[in-house]
Amino acid sequence: MRILVVEDSRRLAGIIKRGLLEEGYAVDSAYDGEEAQYMAETTPFDLIVLDIMLPKKDGLAVCRDLRAKGVNTPVLMLTAKDSVEDRVTGLDTGADDYVVKPFAFAELLARLRALLRRDILPKVQKYEVGDMTLDPQSREVWRDGRRVELTSKEYAILEYFMRRPNAVVTRTMLGENVWDYEFDGLSNIIDVYVRRLRKKIDREGEDSLIQTVRGAGYRLRVP
């Protein structure tokens, strides 16, 4: 899943980005309101972490304009203001949740996961393809009763596949949703990660669950 972090403090933005990357999310950053709005309008993010006090255009105006233009990406607002009136104002502009600075990263992460569950994965508790199960809550993967240990990036790739069983997933789709703006589309990094993932989830002597679709990309085969 791909997240946009909008925060004018590069130090705080860097801390949030590093934490989210460690959790397996693809993360892009913007440092002013105009840049944030352009990125949010042109890129299909799964969630936006949006500070209110921003140069060029404040977060409230960004959120209000995004909603007016039909961009319904969930927005988690960050602010140093904690009065009831401030919270109501933020929510009335179209934000989905509100975190007051200073905050614990664990709280930010929990609120982010709650928004993603509500808006991206409605009513889905676990994904199952054949004898493989992926639990978005615990981020655990099991195959035929065996727990599969994955890196955060491998997990993100597999989750993307599990949400689209039997559908063709192009390298561009993976690049846009599992990586970020720094992704080099000309590299073979996606193929490298898919090979690693296959080695971990496939059983010896059987065809791979993740099939290569020549000239198109990959497909998670439902047995």
The reply to whether 101 and 179 lie within a common domain is no
Q: How many domains does the chain have?
A: 2
Give me the CATH number covering residue 163: 1.10.10.10
The count of C-alpha atoms lying within 13 angstroms of the C-alpha of 215, restricted to the half-sphere facing its C-beta, is 0
The reply to whether 96 and 171 lie within a common domain is no
Interhelix angle 152-162/171-178, rounded to 10 degrees, is 120
Instruction: Give the DSSP letter string of 157-193.
Output: HHHHHHTSTTSEEEHHHHHHHHS-TT--TTSSHHHHH
> Which of 65, 99, 119 is the last residue before a domain boundary?
119
The reply to whether 139 and 49 lie within a common domain is no
What's residue 185's pLDDT?
60
The reply to whether 10 and 39 lie within a common domain is yes
Q: Determine contact, residues 168/217, Cβ cutoff 8 Å.
A: yes
The reply to whether 11 and 44 lie within a common domain is yes
Residues in the chain: 223
Give me the CATH number covering residue 10: 3.40.50.2300
The reply to whether 115 and 141 lie within a common domain is no
> Which of 119, 138, 165 is the last residue before a domain boundary?
119
The reply to whether 75 and 144 lie within a common domain is no
Q: Determine contact, residues 113/85, Cβ cutoff 8 Å.
A: no
The reply to whether 10 and 96 lie within a common domain is yes
The reply to whether 191 and 147 lie within a common domain is yes
What's residue 124's pLDDT?
54
Q: Which pTM was predicted?
A: 0.64
The reply to whether 169 and 213 lie within a common domain is yes
Strand order in the sheet with 217-220: 168-170, 217-220, 210-213
The reply to whether 59 and 138 lie within a common domain is no
The reply to whether 69 and 175 lie within a common domain is no
pLDDT digits (tens, 9 = 90+) for 121-147: 444 568 888 889 998 778 899 998 899
What's residue 123's pLDDT?
47
> For the chain, which residues score pLDDT lower than 70?
82-84, 86, 90, 119-125, 180-187
Q: Determine contact, residues 160/177, Cβ cutoff 8 Å.
A: yes
What's residue 121's pLDDT?
46
The domain containing residue 183 runs over which residues? 127-220
